[in-house]
Amino acid sequence: MTAANSVLKPKRLAPGQTIGVIAPSSPASEDDQIHAALEMLESLGFRVKTGAHLYRRYGYLAGSDAERAADLNDMFADPNVDAIVAFRGGYGASRLLPYLDYDLIRRNPKLLMGYSDITALLNGIHAKTGLVTFHGPIADGNFTPYTLAEFKKVLLNPQPPMAIGVPPASEVGEGVVERKNRLVRIAPGTARGPLIGGNLTLMAHLTGTPYQPDFRGKILFLEDVHEAIYALDRYLTQLWLAGLLQQVAGIVLGKFTDCTPNYGGGWSLTLEQALADRCLPLGIPVLRGLMIGHIDEQTIVPVGCEAALDVEAGTLTLLEMPVM
């Protein structure tokens, strides 16, 4: 975000509003996949409007770059659309960045939500306009009770300060400990700053582009899926060599789902080792294990919102209203 861009906040969600559904990345495998996504949003009490090219398929893309960018621009321009949710991720969102109308987006701030490949849009749009965007569920999936509660807490009825992404309670006791959703305190301390981040692969790919967000003084949150450890190491090293990791105030590591030691045999660092190699020398607080990423039970993280990280407490707390 340039110095000229002040932070813009979209209006909060409310039942009865209209959500625009677009496919900025990969397409649906079948049309009924889209029908189910629209029904899911309607079950939450919203009206839906579909992008003109939502059903398009162009190889691994949901239409041409011009078509997908037009759908996003049109949703921001439409006064009858209150918020925008990505149908799914996949690949291709970063290809849209040169074709977006950032002046239009700045004049019509709206809630934009998605994750995975949508990371490129969340951070690129925030960098260019100052708009707070939301790393959260896509339309192509169901909300668990945990996700629904986080969704309502952040987007419908926010009351800061409020912790987000705290692992759900589980039954523990004699002979039973939490194993699936553990918090790992990699480096102690506290930090405060605006949030940036999302999928590690996409954050690395934005490096050196005009759409790279400002890392200075930020709390960086990262997650990924289906990546070998050496690939995660490569992406973290890219951010480190670019001098970006050294600029942040703190790091929150979400879930690295199905990230295996290697794809073809041989020796590998563990995920624990790879993360520690890049994070520990920074001398900043680092917490791993919040409910961010390619998981059913996920929180909503507002890119650009002021937050506080407390490693000892195991919390990431929003300090301001993410929506108006």
30 catalytic? Reply is no
Q: Which of 135, 150, 205, 223 is catalytic?
A: 223
Q: Which residue of the set 116, 227, 297, 306 is catalytic?
A: 116
Catalytic residue among 150, 205, 294, 297: 294
User: Catalytic annotation on 29?
Assistant: no
What secondary structure does DSSP assign to 220-272, as a single string? EEEEEES--HHHHHHHHHHHHHTT-GGG-SEEEEEEEET--S-SSSS----HH
Q: Are 324 and 8 in contact (CB under 8 A)?
A: no
> For the residues of 192-210, what is the DSSP string, one character each?
EEEEEEEEHHHHHHTTTST
- Is 150 designated active site? no
Beta-strand pair 47-50/18-22: parallel
Rounded to 5°, the CA angle 38-202-107 comes to 60
Segment (H or E) for 148? helix 145-151
Say if residue 69 is exposed, middle or buried (CB neighbours under 10 Å; 0-12, 13-18, 19+): buried
Cβ pair 110, 83 in contact under 8 A: yes
What are the structure tokens assigned to 323, written together?
């929506």
Using DSSP's 3-state secondary structure scheme, residue 278 falls into helix
Could you list the active site residues?
Answer: 116, 223, 294
